[in-house]
Structure 1
Amino acid sequence: MQKYVSVSGGSRHARLKLFGYYVQRACTSRTLRRIATRALVAGLHMLHGPSARAIRDDGLALDRMRAQGYLRMGALLSGDQCAQALAYLRDQDMIPARRDGCPFRIDAVPPGCRVGDYPLETLVHCPHIMEVANHPDVLRLAAGYLGYTPTISLMGLRWTFPGDGAPDGLLDFHRDSEPGSIKLMVYLTDVDLDAGPHSYVPGTHRDRMPIRLRHYSDADVMRRHGCRVDITGAAGTAFFVDTRGIHKGTLPARTARLMLIVQYSLLPCLIYDYAPVAYPGHDRYDAYVNRLMLATGAGRGTVPLADDVPRHSLQD
C-alpha cells in the first residue's frame, strides 16, 4: 500500500497536499463534483492530448458499472498464475496494516494480526501483478468510467486473516472520498463466504458524499439499504468497485484471503506520499498510467487499447 502524507514533520508541500485533500472533501454536492470532474478532464485533454482509449464495445459494461457501482470481470488470472504469485510471496515480508508491528511472513503470522500489506517494491515484482494492473480491458473500462486515460494512484497486496475482530474498524463498512477514482480488486486465493468476501452496497456510490466519513455497522446497512452484495470467486476472480459507495472487506471466518487492489484516478491522490520504485520491465507499460508506481523516467508510452487487442469477457 502507499504511504500516507505525514502531518507531523512533513514539508510545506505535504501540508498543502493535505489542505487540498480536505478542501475537496468539503464539496459534497454531486452536481459540483461532476462539474469539477468535467473541467479536470478538459484540462487533461489540453495538457496531455486525447485520451488513449477505445471504449465503444464496453458500453453495456460501463452502464452496469455506473448504475450499480460494481462490475464483475470474471477471471483475469489463471489458477497457475495465482499459484506462481503465492510462491513468490512466500519468502517476502509484509507489514501489519496499521504499521504497529514488525515485518513478518505468511508462515509466521503474529497472534492477533488481522491484516498484512506487502511493500510496493514487493508488489510490483510479484509475478503477473503489473500485467493485471495494465490489462487492456481494465485500462479501457477505467478510462471509460473516469473520462480520460487513468493514472494508477494506489496499489496494494493485502492478506486478511481469520480472527475475532479487526482493530479500529479496519474492516467495517465505509466510503472512500478520493474524487475521480475507481478500484480493481483481484482475489489471489479462493474466496467463499468463509474467506472474507468483499461486500458492496449497490447504488450507494450515487449518494451525496458526507463531509465527515464514518463507519457503518452491518445492521445500519441492512436497515438503510436493505441489501448488500458479497462477491465470491476462485483465485483470479476480478471486479471493479466505485468505492464512494459503501463497502468493506469482510473478516474471514476460516480461510485467509489475499487480494490485489489497484486504484485508477484522474490525478494523483493528495493523501498519499508517492515513491515510484525501479522496475526492469517498465518500458512494457504506459509511462503516464504507471508514473506514480514505477520509476520509468520521462516520456509517455502507449496503452495497448486498439481494437485488435484480444478482449476479455466482462460479466454483469
Structure 2
Amino acid sequence: MVSILTLASRSRHARLKLLDYYLQRAVTSRRLRRAATRATIAVLHRLHGSPARATLPDPLQQAPHAAATPPALQALRERGIAPLGRLLPPAHCAEVRAWLRHRDLVAARGDGRTFRLDSAPPGVGIGDVPLGIVVDCPHIMALANHPTMLRLARDYLGYTPIITLIGLRWSFAGAAADGMVQAFHRDSEPGCIKMLVYLTDVDALSGPHSFVAGSHRDRMPLRLRRYEDDEVARTHGAAEVVTGAAGTAFAIDSKGIYKGTPPARGARLLLVVQYSLLPCLLYDYTPLPYRGGGVFDRYVNRLVIEQR
C-alpha cells in the first residue's frame, strides 16, 4: 500500500521525511538541483554498484523495434515528452478492461465512496483502482517493468529506477474537471519521470493528456500551484495533446507542466507509473504480496510488491 504523509503524522520518521520534502522544494535553482541529483547517483553507485539492472528480458515479448532508442531519450531531454508507441497489444488492453469491469473503484478525489464501473455515481469524474487490484491485474506489472521504459528511465535519470507510484484511473464524462489532475500542474521531486499508457482508445474528445513541451527546463517554482489554460498559452504557447489507440504509451518529465482532460464522451482508462532514483518523500510504502505471473527485478519493484 502507499499512503500520503501529512503534517498530522505522529511518527518521527514521517515528520523527518516531510521536512526533507519541503527542504528540497526550497531549492529552485536548476544548477543546485542537478548537483544534488549527481550526488544522489554517486551514493547509489557506492551502495548498489553499476546500474545494469534495466537490461531485462522483455516480459511482453515485444519485437526488438519496441526498445527505447536514442531519439526517445533525446526527445525526453529536449522536450520533456517522448512517444513510446503501442507498448501493450490491443488484446491485452481488452483483457485488462474485462478484468477490471467487476472490481471496485474508489472516488479517492471525492467523497471516497466505492463503486463499480457500470454504476459510477453522478458527478464523480474519476475512479481510482485500489493498489491491491492494480498489482494483480493481468499485464500491468509486466507493462510497468517493460524494458523500453526501464532503459529509458535508467538513461534519463542516470541510474536504475525504482517504481515509486503505480495507478490505474478511470475518467468519466459529465463531471466537472478535477482540480488536482485535470488542471495544468507540475511535480516537484527531482529524479522522477512518468510513463502514461492509454488502455482505451483516446481521441480529442476522450480525455487526452496535454504536456507543455520544454517546460521541464523551467526554474522550479517555490510554490506548487495550478495553471490556467490561458496562462499556459500566454507563457509557453500551445500544449501538445497526446491521442492514440489503446496501448499507446508516452513518457514525461513530470517537472514539466501537464494535465489530463475530462472526457467529453465515454470513459478513459489510464495507467500511470512513476520511476524515481529514490522513494518519494511524501509517501509511506508497504509492499503488497504479488500473486501474478512473471518475476521482476526486486530492486526496481521493492516499494510496490513482494515476490515469492
TM-score range, shorter chain: over 0.9
The counterpart of 1:93, out of the listed 74, 89, 104, is: 104
Counterpart CA distance in 1 for 2:282 and 2:265 is: 34
Amino-acid identity (%)? 56
Identify the range of structure 1 (2-11 vs 61-70) with the bigger mean alpha-carbon deviation.
2-11
**Residue 187 (structure 1) aligned to one of 174, 198, 208:** 198
Corresponding residue of 2:282: 271
Q: Which residue of 1 aligns with 2:61?
A: none
1:256-309 CA distances to partner (integer Å, 9 max, x unpaired)? 111000000000001012121000348710000000000237xxxxxxxxxxxx
Instruction: Answer with 171-180 or 96-105: which moved more.
Output: 96-105
Q: CA deviation at 1:62?
A: 1.0
CA contact under 8 A between 1:2 and 1:156: conserved in structure 2?
Answer: no
Residue in 2 that maps onto 1:244: 255
Distance 1:294 1:101 in 2: 24
In the alignment, does 2:242 pair up with 1:231? yes
Matched with 1:47 is 47
Matched, 1:262 2:276: no
Q: Which of 206, 210, 214 is residue 203 of structure 1 equivalent to?
A: 214
Residue deviations 1:38-78, cap 9 Å, x none? 11001100000000146x97333211110000001110111
Distance 1:202 1:216, change over 3 A: same
Q: CA deviation at 1:91?
A: 1.3
The match for 1:156 among 139, 157, 167 is 167
SS in 2 for 1:51: coil
Residues 192-244 of structure 1: per-residue CA shift (max 9 Å, x gap): 00011000000000000001011111111111111111100000000001110
Does the 8 Å contact 1:282/1:296 carry over to 2?
Answer: no
Amino acid at match of 1:182: I
Q: Which amino acid aligns with 2:115?
A: F
Question: Quick one: distance in 2 between partners of 1:73 and 1:259?
Answer: 15
Structure 2 residue aligned with 1:22: 22
| In 2: Cα distance, 1:95 partner to 1:227 partner | 33
Q: 1:1-316, aligned counterparts within 5 Å? A: 2-52=2-52, 53=54, 58-98=69-109, 100-281=111-292, 284-296=295-307
Q: Partner residue of 1:303?
A: none
CA distance in 2, matches of 1:176, 1:154: 13
Where does residue 59 of structure 2 map in the other structure? none
Deviation at 1:172, TM superposition (A): 0.5
The one-letter amino acid of 2:14's match is A
**Structure 1 residues 9 and 66, CA, compared in 2 at 3 Å: closer, same or farther?**
closer
Deviation larger for 92-101 or 12-21: 92-101
Distance 1:60 1:13 in 2: 41
What secondary structure sits across from 2:165 in the alignment?
strand
- Count of residue correspondences: 297
Matches of 2:3 and 2:176 in 1, distance apart? 24
CA distance in 2: counterparts of 1:108 and 1:283, whole angstroms: 33
Q: TM-score scaled to structure 2, two decimals?
A: 0.92
Q: 1:99/1:48 Cα in 2 relative to 1: closer, same or farther (>3 Å)?
A: farther
Tell me the distance in 2 between the aligned counterparts of 1:134 and 1:57: 13
Residue 63 of structure 2 corresponds to none
Deviations 1:175-197 (A, max 9, x none): 11121000000000000000110
**Matching residue's letter, 2:35:** I
Let me know the Cα RMSD of the aligned residues.
1.8
CA contact (8 A) 1:282 1:294 kept: no
